[in-house]
Amino acid sequence: MNAARTAPATASDLGPSCGPEEHCITCGDQAIPMRVLGVEQPGGLAICRELSDVLQMTGIAGETVDVGLLADVSAGDVVLVHAGTALARLGPEEVEA
Amino acid sequence: MKFVDEFRDAGLGRVLAGEILTTVEPGRHYKIMEVCGGHTHSIYKYGVDDLLPSNVELVHGPGCPVCVIPMGRVDDGIAIAHEPNVIFACFGDMLRVPGSNGTLLEAKARGADVRMVYSPLDALRIAKQNPDRDVVFFAIGFETTAPSTALTLKRARAEGVENFFCMCNHVTIVPPLRALLDSPDLRLDGFIGPGHVSTVVGARPFHFICADYERPVVIAGFEPLDLLQAIHMILRQLSDGRCEVENQYTRVVPYEGNLRALEIMAEVFELRPHFEWRGLGLISQSALKLSDAYADLDAELRYAVPGVRVADPKACQCGEVLKGVIKPWECKVFGSACTPEHAIGTCMVSPEGACAAYYNYGRFAREREVV
């Protein structure tokens, strides 16, 4: 399981956990699609959650993501996140179940 | 989830594998480099190479941000981590990269306050929670990660956080590719371009590969069908005698990249005159440091660092693996002295690294072949 995906916002408190079988997405070139739950500051920070159904069932509130690279992000948008920063917005045709 | 699931469809994968088979010319050997470590990981994880004809060879490139960090930079980071008032923050894989005197994880065991973070924002949060300590973020990564660091440095300044600093090890993707293409010991037929780097830089920076070296490039996503389709597109270009930069990953990568990210990077960073890459040596203008406007946040200026070049262990052949000259299993210490649990070289540390990816996913298939 991907450690980064299940980590709470205060992951640093848990100590290192990226083992050889796990995949540290922040060390690599990986990005994951997340849905914007709410924007804290326009052009700044937003609370986002992964699209994974499993994570939605866990009730994790979401992670803080910097959306400063994208214009006009609003709740409901799906963005591609790497290292806590949204790099691109995904069109609705890409994410519909 | 449409974004992921349909790109793992086994039936479509078989169709693509069949089309690849009909596109290759019998008797011709194709060498295609996947530049990005994320692609290397996906290829081994999903067994993409098993679906290819025997004359299509995938060569693993230098695009693993952890693997290319030389030992001297790890030593510099450890020196800063041991400063008495410092909290040293870095990504998980980086903690296990050996320097000449151990890893950051071992420095933590010796008393340094080293903490793993998932983003620069996490490091900034630690700085706000510890206003009487200096928090140094060890920044690594290609252009995918550099905007995140740049945004966070801007945020630190805007919010007046005065105890947040950065040891910048960000690298850029084009100079090592040019170095590889100039290398006499490697003949490549085409490139699978890095998907998420291209989200930031766009497709334009890769045109030199076609213009100067006459090799096709296809920017690709990270799911197995993305990779198979990209390989098919490269083979089609070779078959048609074309040489272009094509974008397989259009659902994410715009041709121009993310202009806002490029602007912010230009403001916060400037090119280093040269930077040492593990295995590739010194490459001119291939890495970033903080610009003059952000020099007061530069940890390398705030703290004395050894700054010494350290040769890799003699047994380690990461350099040849990073250049694609040898396969992971051809290294003398692969799987014996060097394993993910006790890595000698960086390629075995990060799951993005070719050796670790092969160790975790590919070695059993090879053992079956041998038997």
What average pLDDT score do residues B263-286 get?
A: 93
pLDDT given for residue A57 in this prediction: 58
Cβ separation A29–B2 shorter than 8 A: no
ipTM here: 0.82
Interface check B314 vs A, CB under 8 A: no
Average pLDDT of the residues of chain B: 90
Best mean pLDDT range from A39-43, B68-72, B110-114: B110-114
Cα–Cα distance between A59 and B118 in angstroms, integer? 20
Residue B50 reports pLDDT greater than 60 = yes
Q: Which residue of B has its CA nearest to A65?
A: B121
Evaluate whether B324 touches B180 at the Cβ level (below 8 Å).
yes
Chain B segment 223-252 residues within 8 A of A by beta carbon are 251-252
B348 phi/psi in degrees, rounded to 5: -95, -15
Cβ separation A68–B260 shorter than 8 A: yes
**CA–CA min distance A97, chain B (Å):** 5
**B310: closest CA among B263, B358, B346, B256?**
B346
**B278: closest CA among B100, B81, B33, B91?**
B100
Q: How far is CA B22 from CA B47, B190, B225, in A?
A: 20, 18, 17
Cα–Cα distance between B64 and B62 in angstroms, integer? 6
Instruction: Give B64 or B127, the one with higher predicted confidence.
Output: B127
Cα–Cα distance between B282 and B274 in angstroms, integer? 6
Match 């920070």 to its residue by tokens: A45
Decide the pairing of beta strands A78-82 and A63-66. unpaired
Q: List, in order, residues 6 or more apart from B119 with CB less than 8 Å away.
A: A26, A83, A84, A85, B148, B152
Give the lowest-confidence range in A79-93, B236-250, B349-363: B349-363
Cα three-residue angle B327-B178-A87, rounded to 5 degrees:
90
Q: What domains can you pick out in chain A, each with its CATH number?
A: 29-94 (2.30.30.140)
Residue B315 reports pLDDT greater than 90 = no
Evaluate whether A27 touches B196 at the Cβ level (below 8 Å).
no
Residue A13 reports pLDDT greater than 50 = no
pLDDT given for residue A5 in this prediction: 34
Q: How far is CA B231 from CA B17, B34, B171, B217, B238, in A?
A: 10, 10, 26, 10, 11
Cα–Cα distance between B65 and A70 in angstroms, integer? 24
Q: Which of the four pLDDT bands, split at 50, 70 and 90, describes residue B109?
A: very high
Q: Which of the four pLDDT bands, split at 50, 70 and 90, describes residue A60?
A: low
Q: List, in order, residues 6 or more apart from B55 with CB less than 8 Å away.
A: B24, B26, B27, B28, B29, B30
